[in-house]
Homo-oligomer: A and B are copies of this chain.
Amino acid sequence: MNVKILLEYDGTNYSGWQRQKNAIAIQEVVEKAIFKVTGEKVNVIGAGRTDAGVHARGQVANFFTNCRIPVARLPYAINSHLPEDIVVKGAEVVPDDFHARYSAKAKVYTYSIYNAPFPSPLLRRYSYFFPKPLNIEAMERAAKAFIGVHDFAAFRASGSSVKSSVRNIKRLEVKKQGDLVIIEVEADGFLYNMVRIIAGTLLEVGAGKRDPEEIPSVIRSRDRERAGVTLPAHGLCLEKVIY
């Protein structure tokens, strides 16, 4: 049977979701835990290939198993073999053609900026510290320009090789929660580093280094050099995968 699982993890100590040489990946840790439960060497397919240091509150994955443990008990069984920074929060049997990545209709990511004069020890692992004041209203205006179907070639890591860089951003919101500025973005798919570059571009707008009105021309340029910096991984979190 094909099992879909929901995962939360703190990416701080991992090389990212995907198996790597010389570094421990979340996928690998989850596969080993499943092996301990089922005795099967499964391939766990993740919806989002989160990078090193990126977190997830709602990663989705699937794997095939002949295990007879009731699916409702599986999260408890797998969690008993997982470290405390990775947790399976749910499991259900899905049709065989369900593929965590290819079946996904959309994904939601957040990028958290801690915007206060001094860094926060309690939020340091899950947000990027930026001490200068941010103009949220300007960031909101800039965010609107990203929404819709565009070629986001300017907002992907240079050197990435995916054929099409056209994506549909369905929602891009900038929210202030206390000292946190949270950028929340929903799209049908994301290019490599896309959220971190959009967040870096919006941060530059918020800091007054860039005009919100210039975003449409940056998108049209398809030129990575015209967009903002790639913000660090630890502010990024995969919130939800929509099927």
Contact = CB atoms under 8 A, between A and B. Distances in A.
Interface stretch (A60-68, A114-122, A219-227): A114-122
B118 A89 contact: yes
Interface stretch (A80-88, A136-144, A195-203): A80-88
A55 B8 contact: no
Number of copies: 2
Most B Cβ at <10 Å: residue of A8, A117, A126: A8
A81 to B, nearest CB: 14
A87 B10 contact: no
Interface residues of A, number: 24
Contact of A55 (B10, B86, B118, B122): B122
Nearest to A118: B89
Contact of A57 (B55, B84, B122): B122
A70 to B, nearest CB: 15
A126 B122 contact: yes
A152 interface: no
A122 B10 contact: yes
15 contacts: A9-B121, A10-B122, A57-B122, A75-B118, A79-B118, A84-B121, A84-B124, A85-B121, A86-B121, A87-B118, A87-B121, A89-B117, A90-B118, A122-B126, A122-B237
Given A10-B124, A90-B118, A122-B237, 8 more contacts: A8-B121, A10-B122, A55-B122, A79-B119, A85-B121, A86-B121, A87-B119, A122-B126
